[in-house]
């Protein structure tokens, strides 16, 4: 199989879809990997590193996408943006984060162009775990308290509160909504920074796990509308970390509630890729990451892990590589028939939407997955 790896074009997106180790593994299986020149520079991976691992370096995005044919599968990190739409074509398998529930235009383009789109974020194990979302959720969770702490500085328009406080002065109160992978990692970092951390979730098992994980140093509360309201109004920082696989994130913090928060408070929405869990969330970039809502600062960068590519790129390839090899060795149809977890990643094929939660979010009817995979 011929596999293309284009350079990411999203604002300050320094990640790349594969490392030289991944290239070496694919070429050892007899596949050809075509990497766009400069694709790995942001992750400190040179063209020479890729070539030494067996990749063919191609000059531009058109060649990496196989606009004129010759590429069977495209590996990316982030969903295609408008300037890339014209490169998508029938016959190519696109393996990347898609986040279609928050992006109807992209959904329509994938359908119109007959692309087989397999989304990292909806590949799901029988346990319910999301193995290809997990590493980036870890990174985003770790970053959230850091960026939040920076924006709490008075010079950034924040409350001027130190996360850890000092003797005789209260620590910053950090409220995290969602005790999944990103929420747990956010709690770990916020706790390490000395903050007073409260974790909210409707899943009591996750809260019990956090009780033992943090030796009861993180306050775990069963989430409800009233609990969210009470905690958010007391918070210096709120981190939104709610995920429903494939679907749009629920809106849990209203504009009215933000208006009642402490002046200078900060809200970080990790769920922004799925539409966000704050009513006033809209995606921002690393160039212009924040905006004001009432007297609070919102940080809603849609590719947070892109800020630390030398961590993120390697973590992502570690997770995606076994699935990438399966797709390359067997072709997407057989790979999905053999692995139900991978099959759940299929979002579009031959002009049909194959993920029901995405269909509900964007208002497009979805077909049954088994119908698409039937022999």
Angstrom distances, CA of residue 116 to CA of 35, 88, 91, 267 = 20, 10, 7, 36
Which residues make Cβ contacts (< 8 Å) with residue 291, sequence separation at least 6?
A: 282, 284, 297, 298, 300
Pick the catalytic residue: 31, 99, 219, 349?
99
- Residue 99 annotated as catalytic: yes
Pick the catalytic residue: 72, 103, 236, 273?
273
- Residue 273 annotated as catalytic: yes
Q: What is the CA radius of gyration of the chain?
A: 21
Q: Which residues pair with 116 in a beta bridge?
A: 93
* Catalytic residue IDs: 99, 273
């Amino acid at each position: 199989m011929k596999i293309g790896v284009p350079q990411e074009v999203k604002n300050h997106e320094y990640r790349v879809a594969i490392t030289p180790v991944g290239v070496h593994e694919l070429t050892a299986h007899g596949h050809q990997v075509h990497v766009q020149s400069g694709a790995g520079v942001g992750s400190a991976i040179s063209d020479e590193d890729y070539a030494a691992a067996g990749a063919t370096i191609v000059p531009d995005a058109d060649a990496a996408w196989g606009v004129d044919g010759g590429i069977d599968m495209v590996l990316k990190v982030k969903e295609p943006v408008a300037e890339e739409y014209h490169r998508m074509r029938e016959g190519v398998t696109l393996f990347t984060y898609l986040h279609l529930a928050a992006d109807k235009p992209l959904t329509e383009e994938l359908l119109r162009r007959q692309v087989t789109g397999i989304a990292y974020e909806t590949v799901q194990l029988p346990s319910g775990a999301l193995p290809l979302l997990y590493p980036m959720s870890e990174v985003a969770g770790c970053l959230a308290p850091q960026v939040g702490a920076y924006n709490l500085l008075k010079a950034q328009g924040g409350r001027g509160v130190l996360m850890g406080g000092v003797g005789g002065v209260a620590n910053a109160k950090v409220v995290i909504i969602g005790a999944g992978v990103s929420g747990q990692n956010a709690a770990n970092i916020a706790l390490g920074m000395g903050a007073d951390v409260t974790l909210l979730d409707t899943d009591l098992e996750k809260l019990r796990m956090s009780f033992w994980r943090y030796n009861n140093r993180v306050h775990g509360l069963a989430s409800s509308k009233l609990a969210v309201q009470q905690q958010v109004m007391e918070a210096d920082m709120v981190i939104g970390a709610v995920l429903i696989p494939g679907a749009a994130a629920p809106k849990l913090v209203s504009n009215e509630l933000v208006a009642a928060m402490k002046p200078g408070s900060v809200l970080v929405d990790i769920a922004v890729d799925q539409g966000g869990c704050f009513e006033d969330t809209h995606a921002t970039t690393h160039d212009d990451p924040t905006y004001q809502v009432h007297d609070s600062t919102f940080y809603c960068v849609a590719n947070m892990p892109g800020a630390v590519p030398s961590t993120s790129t390697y973590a992502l390839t570690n997770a995606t590589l076994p699935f990438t090899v399966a797709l390359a060795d067997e072709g997407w149809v057989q790979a999905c028939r053999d692995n139900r977890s991978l099959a759940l990643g299929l979002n579009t094929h031959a002009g049909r939407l194959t993920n029901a939660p995405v269909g509900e979010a964007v208002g497009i009817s979805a077909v049954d997955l088994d119908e698409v995979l039937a022999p």
